Amino acid sequence: MFLQFERRVQQAFQSHLAIRYGLDVPVLVEQPKQPEFGELALPAAFQLAKLLKQSPKKIAAEICAEIGPVAGVRALEVAGNGYINVRLDRGAYAAALLAGGEETPAAAAGEKVIVEHTNINPNKAAHIGHLRNTALGDTFVRMLRARGFRVEVQNYIDNTGVQVADVVVGFHFLEQKSPEEVRELAGRPRFDYYCWDLYARTSQHFKDHPETVKWRAETLHAIEANEGPLAELGHVVADAIVECHLDTMLRLGVEYDVLPRESEILQLEFWASAFTQLRARGAVHLETAGKNAGCWVMRAAAFSDSTEDDKVIVRSNGTVTYVGKDIAYQLWKFGLLGKDFYYRPLRTYASGHTVWVSSSEPQPPGAPAFGGGSRVYNVIDVRQSFLQEVVAAGLRALGYTEQAERSIHFAYEMVALSPRCCAELGIALSEEDQRRPYVEVSGRKGLGVKADDLIDRLVEDAYAEVVSRHPDRPDAERRTVASQIAIGALRYFLLKFTRNTVIAFDFQEALSFEGETGPYVQYAAVRARNILRKLEERGETPPDFAQELDAAAMARQLAAEDFWQVLLAASKADTAVERAVASGEPAHIAKYAFQLAQGFNNFYHQHHILTEEDRGRRVFLLWMTAFFRNQLERTLGILGIQVPEYM
RNA sequence: GCGCCCGUAGCUCAGUUGGAUAGAGCGUCUGGCUACGAACCAGAAGGUCGGGUGUUCGAAUCACUCCGGGCGCACCA
């Protein structure tokens, strides 16, 4: 609603300036920090001052006098040195809110957006770094969908890479287990934890016995050729771990549409198609001399104007690098490869939604059309910026400049461990590491906080709290509530930081349920819900707001500044989401939700709604509560946070 | 060496892309539960926005420079 109003004011000024002064300048509309300055402020007069060679103050006064009435605006005022402050007609605004009238977002029709996130190597348990990726990706998807975009969620599975190979080495060479034995192990709970340890053990073994690194090469070859027990082990491990990851992420409410796998990229020869295109356009060259002799490389000039080395795309032994495969995959995402995967259903979520996985064999029909997006977001941590740039350069070199521009690296900083966190985990740090502000998570070293461990701790803490507050409630119900609170805390914690802030993970902060946290926001929503529920428990039917509240009644109540401010804030949910989409910053929505909850909590304390004796006022307060509840639940929904029945 | 990012209250972070008197949470101190349940609310203390120069009506935000920290720059992913 606020969005509509903002646009209307902007357009009114824009056309007035065009007609009156013949100027076609972009009109800026701000939301003043101080509520005394009204609901909107325009610094337009400052922009015009130079062009018209007059004082901003004079221009502002002139505009205010001449622009005429603007729908929904009660008054225009000149303030400071030339700001134009806009005051809303409060009653009309509230009446419009009550009437519904939320605009349906006008997203580009037909445009399909692809968001790729999670992308965890399927060789070990997920850790907190992966959680940040998934929380950001999933929330961004929810934001886009809320604004009306059609979004496809992909989770790329590198099931043929070095990381999987290393765990296979662990099973085959170190533990001497057969595929059957590993299959049995994979059926047990927490197979991903087992692999977490085995992966660290194998890495250490390579370090202690460098001569055994050849095992890795042997395993990689077998996996790539897709033959023999090593390849079979690779499938057993990767398939089982993917299921573990899906389970872990489902705990956060995260679902995927499709899982494209590297094994199919190889078997369906996606790379061959991409390679043909790259050679035909001269995007890659066969190096005949120097250190890259025998390799196909992309010239540094394609992706950098500094003195980078050329990038090897095909190794001298004929195998393709990760970047090469990623170029092929990126081409497929835009529908530019001329090939497609086959798909089979992997699992159907409780929501009824099915996630599909790529297959190299023809499958029965029924799969939706995947890929072929017009805009692609790759949620990958910032350390891979260089590689992402090379991939985009590959698209450009093929002449797909528009797609290269719509190939967006949705980068975020890493999650690291604070020194205190390392101490809690019993991790011994070198003297050098102790002096650092934080320590990087390392799957290879087994250094990190596993996602499920963290979630378990959160659930346990929340459950203890719920039990102490609600001794008489059924236990199954309390478990559900505890889990919703735990996930609310976790998702909020991961989302409250802007993307380019390094999170130095700390248990105390992550496990907090007070202050700027998910549970704080949930609590505000629960309170609003409680008021409305209590009303019905008293045997009252909720008032027909549309019948009882007209613009004049609203205006009377909203003359009180605190009412107006909290209502105004609650009406800005769409503004907050749109801004967050524009800046690609889920943290802005988290911040908005928190501020909204704060505003409501304050309102809640100042006014006791159910005991209000003035009937008109009581109806108004109830409407405010209902409106707030809707807005907050919608906003929390975009953050992937549920509102518990009670807290 | 080259490139990217960061430096804001004791701590952890926001700051609507250049706007009005720089804001939250935690922590500290003070006060508030027989209410729609305090996972809450009210108040206080706490700032040279790393330093400097510049750009202009106006800078935490832009440019240059210095200091401090992080991350990249493989025939690994």
Task: Confirm if A382 and A498 have CB atoms less than 8 A apart.
Answer: no
Q: How far is the CA of A354 from the C1' of B31 (A)?
A: 55
DSSP three-state, residue A381: strand
pLDDT reported for residue A108: 58
CA distance A340 to A260: 10
Residue that has been written with the tokens 């956060």 in this structure:
A252
pLDDT tens for A473-517 read 999 999 999 999 999 999 999 999 999 999 999 999 999 999 999
pLDDT tens for A428-463 read 887 778 778 888 888 888 889 999 999 999 999 999
Q: Say what the ipTM of the complex is.
A: 0.96
Q: Which run of H or of E encompasses A254?
A: none
Say which amino acid occupies A303.
F
For residue A194, give every residue at least 6 positions away whose Cβ sits within 8 Å of its Cβ, in sequence order, or none: A185
- Summarize the confidence of residues A616-645 as an average pLDDT: 96
Q: How far is the CA of A439 from the C1' of B71 (A)?
A: 13
CA distance A301 to A312: 13
CA distance A573 to A584: 16
CA distance A143 to A136: 10
DSSP string computed for A295-359: -EEE-GGGT-SSSPPPEEEE-TTSPBPHHHHHHHHHHHHTT-SS---EEEEEEE-TTS-EEEEEE
Most confident of A6-15, A289-298, A473-482: A473-482
* Residue at shortest CA–C1' distance from B12: A509
A198 CB-contact burial (10 Å; exposed 0-12 / middle 13-18 / buried 19+): buried
Task: Confirm if A573 and A635 have CB atoms less than 8 A apart.
Answer: yes
Q: What is the 3-state secondary structure (H, E, C) of A117-160?
A: CCCCCCCCCCEHHHHHHHHHHHHHHHHHHHCCCEEEEECCECCC
Task: Confirm if A111 and A608 have CB atoms less than 8 A apart.
Answer: no
A480 CB-contact burial (10 Å; exposed 0-12 / middle 13-18 / buried 19+): middle
Residue that has been written with the tokens 């001052």 in this structure:
A49
pLDDT tens for A143-173 read 999 999 999 999 999 999 999 999 999 999 9
A645 touches strand B (CB under 7 A): no
pLDDT reported for residue A106: 61
CA distance A450 to A429: 19
What residues are paired with A572 via a beta bridge?
none
Which pTM value belongs to this model? 0.95
A513 touches strand B (CB under 7 A): yes
Chain A 245..274 CB hits on strand B (< 7 A): none
* Residue at shortest CA–C1' distance from B23: A33
pLDDT tens for A187-206 read 999 999 999 999 999 999 99
A583 touches strand B (CB under 7 A): yes
Q: Which of A12-26, A523-537, A556-570, A584-598 has the lowest mean pLDDT?
A: A12-26
- Residue A522 backbone phi and psi in degrees, to 5: -60, -40
Task: Confirm if A192 and A243 have CB atoms less than 8 A apart.
Answer: no
Cα dihedral across residues A19, A20, A21, A25: positive or negative: negative
Q: Which of A20-29, A245-254, A332-341 has the lowest mean pLDDT?
A: A20-29
Structure tokens at A79: 């303030």
A363 touches strand B (CB under 7 A): no
Q: Which nucleotide is nearest to A312 (CA to C1')?
A: B75
Count of alpha carbons within 13 angstroms of residue A298, beta-carbon side: 27
A361 touches strand B (CB under 7 A): no
A501 touches strand B (CB under 7 A): yes
A327 touches strand B (CB under 7 A): no
CA distance A443 to A450: 10
Q: Which run of H or of E encompasses A629?
A: helix A615-638
Q: Which of A28-37, A117-126, A466-475 has the lowest mean pLDDT?
A: A28-37
CA distance A124 to A129: 13
* Residue at shortest CA–C1' distance from B33: A605
Q: How confident is the model at residue A539 (pLDDT cuts 50, 70, 90)?
A: confident
What percent of chain A is predicted at pLDDT more than 70? 98
pLDDT reported for residue A101: 63
Residue A146: closest CA among A579, A490, A500: A579
Q: Which of A41-55, A317-331, A554-568, A591-605 has the lowest mean pLDDT?
A: A41-55
- Summarize the confidence of residues A544-548 as an average pLDDT: 92
Protein-contacted bases of chain B (C-beta within 7 A) = 2-6, 12-17, 19-21, 23-27, 32, 35-42, 57, 69-77
Q: Which run of H or of E encompasses A73?
A: strand A73-79
DSSP three-state, residue A377: strand
